[in-house]
A and B are shown apart, each in its own frame.
Chain A
């Protein structure tokens, strides 16, 4: 039984700070996904948990143990690398059994464990092969097998699917989800693929520039992003933003308007807002719909007709460019004007500093 507790973790290379104080609690058995743009420190954070990078400051607790100075082998973790990192000179059998051999597990026990792992991952027929004789997907499965046999408390994955082709990625993703379900172990998974994050995670941690932006369930992050960064990062296509001015503030609602938009009242937290403030309004492309006399009018710049939906790139009067996804097929011509409306409670108001003003939940 092991959860994790990260207390104000810091990591610096020389005087470059890469991880700037991460606090995070992971319950036992949870599937946690780290997402963020490239270079935000996801891998670094994962490797600190694994013990492959020293911790510059803060505390790392795995289960009941303070792990800052504990060797990787004693942390009860296993890790799956992006490029598999299988030992090329060993057979699959020896690759999977290497850790057990180092731990001086008796031969018969070792054999049983290796075969058990091979059975779970359906790779019994591959045991005698060398890694060079395997496909990418099979290699990744061996790498996962190598993690399983160690019966770790915590599995760490660093972009395990990014070297696989699209179809295999979907398949392996499902296998990992099933594995998590079957083993019930804690898993921490790094990816920059939104779909992986949304489908696998119990909890997503969004990182940017070494700082945690938001922690929460996937749907919560989608519906109630904490700030502009999370709103723009989660969801595809990206959320549209427009700068607007507060016109009036009433109980639980802010009326906003701007160059691009007629006045509309949006449900939001109103404390501290006064007419004349500049805020940012965010609305997802899927929440917009065509309606003559809608609050927003723009010029169509590009149309992609997919049959079931139509993706429109639109130019607003202020030169801001938006994406709109309309259900069904719409035959629009480039250059024509398009009027759009949206449900006020689908929009999010962001402060000047980027913090979201969601209305309080009842």
Chain B
């Protein structure tokens, strides 16, 4: 009785999260092992036979190795966007927190607006076409940076407020120019938040489906999420291949997540208590 009372809730919580997180994952993996006919049933059955390897080969080679191109594109997109995001968001957060001017209110309004107002696709395409960046990878990088910036800035700014200003001043007296202060003193101290930013944003950008769809048309430009279309159509979907594809493109975010896992929690709670 007391055991139930003591651990009952915890066990329940663990079970619920297992159901919510693990079952879909198990479903994906099992589907990836099935052959086409069994997959068509879309049920939760044990795979008959081992078809993973043939599935993988087919998925990777489809449409002239499109998945490989997509992986390369997505990696470039993610790495470039996240790098720019981290640097710019930290810079904006730093300046906004440290230098009080009468424009601060306006800037904060823009940041919040960026967070709340849904992106307008058609005007953005029109603008991208105007400056010749439509359908280009670097155009999409800029779009991703713009969409991700407000959230990253908010994360950074709260944390920068906990870094004592004397640290900047000590660096200034030590002879640091503004860029030295930022890159050598502030940015290293922001590492916990930077990790959080890297994980959150890289997963979001890597898994982004709509923005590449709108702003980066064309097979040569495909990103990983768009490759899902290869096996999906209104009348004829190869579910085994679709789920193999899903399993393959889930691997990179998973690796990032496992790699930074410990530090994410540190970043979320950093600054809560002065160390």
Contact = CB atoms under 8 A, between A and B. Distances in A.
Interface of A: 50-52, 72-73, 77-79, 81-83, 85-89, 98-99, 102-103, 132, 146, 150
Nearest to B170: A85
Given A72-B173, A73-B175, A87-B171, A81 B166 contact: yes
A50 B170 CA distance: 10
Contact of A89 (B171, B174, B188): B188
Contacts of A86: 170
10 tightest Cβ-Cβ pairs between the two chains A and B: A99-B174, A73-B175, A85-B166, A85-B170, A102-B175, A89-B188, A81-B166, A79-B173, A72-B173, A98-B174
B173 A73 contact: yes
A83 B164 contact: yes
A50 B174 CA distance: 11
Contact of B172 (A72, A89, A103): A72
Contacts of B174: 73, 98-99, 102, 146, 150
Contacts of A77: 173
B169 interface: yes
Most chain A CB atoms below 10 A, which of B167, B174, B184, B191: B174
Given A73-B174, A99-B175, A81 B169 contact: yes
Contacts of B171: 87, 98
B189 A73 contact: no
B185 A50 contact: no
B139 to A, nearest CB: 36
B176 interface: yes
B58 interface: no
Interface residues of B, number: 18
Contacts, number: 56
Nearest to B189: A89
Contacts of B189: 88-89
8 contacts: A52-B173, A73-B172, A89-B189, A89-B191, A99-B175, A102-B180, A103-B175, A146-B170
Contacts of A51: 172-173
Contacts of B164: 83, 85
Nearest to A79: B173
B180 A79 contact: no
Contacts of A132: 275
Given A51-B173, A87-B170, 12 more contacts: A52-B172, A72-B173, A73-B173, A73-B176, A79-B169, A81-B170, A82-B166, A85-B164, A85-B166, A87-B171, A98-B171, A102-B174
A51 B175 CA distance: 12
A186 B169 CA distance: 21
A102 B275 contact: no
A77 B176 CA distance: 14
Given A102-B180, A132-B275, A85 B172 contact: no
A35 to B, nearest CB: 21
Nearest to A78: B173
Contacts of A98: 171, 174, 176, 184
Given A73-B174, A98-B174, A102-B176, A52 B169 contact: yes
A187 to B, nearest CB: 15
Contacts of B191: 89
A99 B181 CA distance: 11
Nearest to B169: A52
Contacts of A82: 166
A83 B184 CA distance: 20
Contacts of B184: 98
A112 to B, nearest CB: 18
A58 B214 CA distance: 61
A169 to B, nearest CB: 20
Nearest to B168: A85
Nearest to A47: B169
Nearest to B166: A85
A222 B135 CA distance: 80
Contacts of B167: 85, 87
A73 B177 CA distance: 9
Contacts of B175: 73, 99, 102-103, 150
B32 to A, nearest CB: 43
A77 B174 CA distance: 9
Contacts of A50: 169, 173
A73 B169 CA distance: 11
A329 B122 CA distance: 92
A81 B164 CA distance: 11
Contacts of B172: 51-52, 72-73
B193 to A, nearest CB: 14
A146 B191 CA distance: 24
A52 B169 CA distance: 7
Nearest to B167: A85
B170 A79 contact: yes
Nearest to B185: A87
Given A73-B174, A99-B175, A150-B174, A85 B185 contact: no
Contacts of B180: 102
Contacts of A52: 169, 172-173
Contacts of A89: 188-189, 191
Contacts of B176: 73, 98, 102
